[in-house]
A and B are shown apart, each in its own frame.
Chain A
């Protein structure tokens, strides 16, 4: 695992070729890379040392004191040589004062007891301290269900309070930034958010004011926490102090189904978890992948699912009769679309594809193009202002895939398409996802088209002119793969079903292709990937399952196919 270059710290990843040391962990001798901290040692041993302030990607603060453990050093004799016990192992001298696991790194012969009476007693003590001034508002707290205070108090809490005094009052419902609300009474002052802001995104706007028990997290008045990565602090806040304005009060987290997928917001392809319930997405959170986004993601990328919750979403395929769209059925509409398309020569058809499509969709599209003899096709490029962290300059999530599959000409063909339509040379247009007007084809030109079919999710400026609208899948509604800007092949997973009768794009394209050119034997998304891997050398030998949750770096330079090289797909049924 290569640590993400942006992280200032990677306590969980030992440097290459770190020598191993012998450590006695809860009674057994084990080998651990020298210098690993005790929280990570515990994690490596499939155990867990409770902690709040420690985070593997942030500096060590050591303030929560939850990871206190009992430490020992090799017992030395008068000549400073380790004493060997009867069992042949070195004897350990246990230190009476507990140590914090996060700031203690292993050395040869060290003893670690994480479950001794002393260690457990320490945790119970800290647990009680953290709770005495904490509001017991779990029933209305968004963190409930994934709150470290809740989790550890079930193991180390008293179950009753010995605190009969008045709790400390602090600010509540603080508008900390564009996307974040702060409840200072819930804050346990672990400083994770402060360190994230300072160390990871170098935006030193958070801090503690007041002193002692009155310590209060805040941003300076007039300097809000509006960083494009601010919501990562909500993720790493171990309690309910920092909450996302977008998610708060929307859903109890334990109801959320978690689906591993990737962000399609930009070319980075941040790994994510989609939280959904009853076919509705409620939030997107980052999923750790050191090769892509570590454990962070930009705020904006978390909101992309909202677009698909639009009330105007197409729920079924639509056919235009005179000036209005009427609902249709797939069995009715696809043959009609195919019939229309086959009326034209390949040179009279243009395809407006999208680098927001998956590899599988692009592959099937290319296959359809081949069957129709279409060669004029391109995607809409999205160059945006990136940063040196996780926001890519490429606003498309799959530009590499679109190029690899020969669909993209990086937008160079868009003027030719626009001109062809305007001049009447192009008579039919297949547009997918993209708004043709945004691609430079003006509405007057679009009216000149004899035939326009759009595959998409929502009304746009152009598709009102289409003859048919094929209702397709939105974010989180489809499976497939994409290749990020760094050439990493990654998997999307389906969190929810398409609304109404809408279908996944790959199904629509598969069925359209067979309606145009006969059956192709592709039944599942796996079939599509297999067919693709047999055609595209860069994907040879791969399958969707081989990509895995963390994706695969494609070897060497990705060989790009030009439209001229498009070969017929040969798939056996």
Chain B
């Protein structure tokens, strides 16, 4: 059986009687961590975060302590900005919505602590446009926090000053990319910036040092302060610390969001025990483990994973999809990523070509169009996959599609290039027979009809 959930971020979410107003939050110990932090040296907070080994929850899994360490507030002469990335839009991910709607003050508190730690006086919370209600809840939460002097001038009598404003996106996935988000916040098309030279830590918002953190990451900061970095690091496994909110969707009996210690359960346990197995008595066919851009995993596939043997030495162990521990490093080791925690499950009735066509349509629609490979390639892949899914596949299409994806990944301004090509590459690699079968149906195909 799977380990029980460990609800840290989602502790109060859906708890009976818990409301999203500040009084309820304070009643449950809210803002105590802020009161504690604000008496600490900002560098001490940063040290705790470093010790916690907290990794970003947005998708890339980059060390939060490391990200913060790029900016030395003592040396920087320009203002430092912090932006909360609440542009949750990676398909398959729906954790931020819950936090924002049901426990907004947790996020606000995490943000204030993070701002204080990084000497930030002006922060923005970039929330995706499709969360109008979320934006209203957050606006109200900020006003409540201001009324209690957690935000504004001379916070809790310490002389620290902070403003947080809500900024609504307007339906563009690319705003989840941090430099695209910054451009969007500057009132421009969300064209991701070239790196070098525009690393947010150096030339971010208004060309000033900027920290962009995911909603869940900022919430975690509060808990790092609450329990101390070292204690936080004991949750989960080394280098995969803390909990992970997993959003399971697709063909399972009980889709939803679940929070576990990192690495405390396997994919099989998640799907079969936690989510009640595959719907309609069907069999598992494939899993996308970290949002739609993560590479797909095929049921029955064998993976090699380095694990600690009985004698303590690392040994290669052959495992199945169901055996993969749900943490950052294990997913990386099996050739995919934990990403944003969005797990999409597909059963054996699903047509993989159609699934890929759906994903490719998403990326073609969301490409910002700034750089050539992604702009041209994402639409091309959509057109090929749609054609294949609709009875117009040719024998050479699989190879062509793979080559198009290969020509995008690694050659674009931002990670969208990988995001749109990894699904294509992995679907083709894992389910080649389905793509080939489409072609075999129509030997005498005349295109353009």
Contacts and interface: CB of A to CB of B under 8 A. Distances in A.
Interface in A92-128: 96-98, 100, 103-104, 122, 125-126, 128
A211 B372 contact: no
Contacts of A66: 372
Contacts of B380: 129, 132, 163, 165
A214 B448 CA distance: 21
Given A164-B447, A165-B384, A189 B413 contact: no
Interface residues of B, number: 35
B18 to A, nearest CB: 40
Interface in A120-148: 122, 125-126, 128-130, 132-133
Nearest to B410: A97
Contacts of B371: 62-65
Interface in B344-386: 364-373, 375-380, 383-384
B407 A211 contact: no
A62 B410 contact: no
B411 interface: yes
Contacts, number: 95
B369 A211 contact: yes
A63 B364 contact: no
Contacts of B378: 212-213
B369 A189 contact: yes
Interface string B415-449: 00000000000000000000000000000000110
Given A62-B371, A164-B448, A213-B369, A208 B194 contact: no
A508 to B, nearest CB: 57
Interface in B389-417: 394, 400, 406-408, 410-413
A98 B407 contact: no
Given A68-B411, A212-B368, A125 B383 contact: no
B196 A63 contact: no
A82 B383 CA distance: 48
Given A68-B411, A129-B407, A162 B375 contact: no
Contacts of A256: none
B387 interface: yes
Contacts of A132: 376, 380
A62 B371 CA distance: 8
Contacts of B197: 103
Nearest to B407: A125
Contact of A165 (B373, B387, B407, B412): B387
A351 interface: no
Interface string A154-185: 00000000111110100000000000000000
B412 A65 contact: yes
A96 to B, nearest CB: 8
B373 A208 contact: no
A428 to B, nearest CB: 68
The 4 closest A-B pairs by CB, nearest first: A125-B407, A129-B376, A62-B194, A213-B379
Interface of B: 172, 189, 194, 196-197, 364-373, 375-380, 383-384, 387, 394, 400, 406-408, 410-413, 447-448
28 contacts: A61-B194, A63-B371, A63-B413, A64-B371, A65-B373, A65-B412, A97-B410, A98-B411, A125-B407, A126-B411, A128-B407, A129-B372, A129-B375, A166-B383, A189-B375, A208-B369, A210-B369, A211-B369, A212-B364, A212-B365, A212-B375, A212-B378, A213-B367, A213-B369, A213-B375, A213-B378, A214-B369, A215-B375
